[in-house]
Amino acid sequence: MKRETAPPSDTPADADLAGFVARVIARDRRAVSQAVTELERLSLSAPALLQALQPHLGHALVAGFTGPPGAGKSTLVNAVIRELRAAGKTVAVVAVDPSSPISGGAILGDRIRMTAALDDDGVFVRSLASRGYLGGLSPAAVRVIDAFDAAGFDLILLETVGTGQNEIDVAEVADVRVVISAPGLGDDIQAMKSGLLEIADILVVNKRSAPRSATRSRFSRRPPHQAKVSRGCSKRLKPWATACAPKVPRHAAAGARAI
């Protein structure tokens, strides 16, 4: 007698998949969390899930936050979450933390700063480890963004690992690129070398209370030639933005001033 072989437990039947996708789209937190985990780990069912999510993509605006380690990316993202929630928008956050090159573990410390996400169903934060990948993101980040997009979040905030001058993968993924700098991280020579600065739609000089912030405000008033490079907005940004010229706010994420 021929024995029926059951599908591998990780591969949902079509009906199960349709039901699961319906729950993701309805922003059922457990389903969203499970979808994110499957897409992050690239489980056996991930390709079918990704395909099923495709018709539901394209609603969210993806804002990337990048900059050197400790510039204040997570603190700024936290402040932006508060502002967006006050404006009635739903927000998902993908925070990429570095993996230890020795143990492979990641501290996943970004979300500690994101207190605005606590006890709020309109916010979903997922930390990802970079797993040694260079470029500022995690290979899973794009798939996880798709899960949040399908779940109907209005905005997806993507925080990179603390980046160097050449780690600009976020430019490919985000509709709006926010580059965060802080006083004392370099002089005009660093500014001329560009790299990271060139991808900015919005260039934020954070930590206005820091001792060298007066020097940086000179830079803020007179953006360097690099800032012109990203003058255009992507098509997806236009419905959201009143202006697309690069902005250089001098800013304090910690006090949530001038967001």
Beta bridge partners of 181: 205
Establish if 96 lies at the interface with ligand GTP (CB under 6 A).
Answer: no
Chosen residue from 53, 62, 71, 80 binding ligand GTP by CB under 6 A: 71
C-beta of 75 vs 230, nearer to ligand GTP = 75
Chosen residue from 122, 162, 195, 249 binding ligand GTP by CB under 6 A: 162
Q: How many residues bind ligand GTP (CB under 6 A)?
A: 17
- Range in contact with ligand GTP (rule: CB under 6 A) among 11-19, 64-72, 116-124, 184-192: 64-72
Start-to-end C-alpha separation, the chain: 70
Task: Label the pairing between strands 155-159 and 61-66.
Answer: parallel
In this structure, what DSSP letter does residue 16 have? H
| Cα 233 versus chain centre, distance | 17
Q: Which residue's CB comes closest to Mg ion?
A: 74
Whole-Å CA distances, 3 to 10, 14, 56: 20, 21, 38
C-beta of 12 vs 72, nearer to ligand GTP = 72
Chosen residue from 12, 64, 72, 135 binding ligand GTP by CB under 6 A: 72
Establish if 129 lies at the interface with ligand GTP (CB under 6 A).
Answer: no
Instruction: In whole angstroms, give the CA distance from residue 251 to residue 259.
Output: 7
User: HSE (CB half, 13 Å, CA atoms) of 110?
Assistant: 30
Task: Give contact residues for ligand GTP (rule: CB under 6 A).
Answer: 69-75, 110, 113, 162, 206-207, 209-210, 252-254
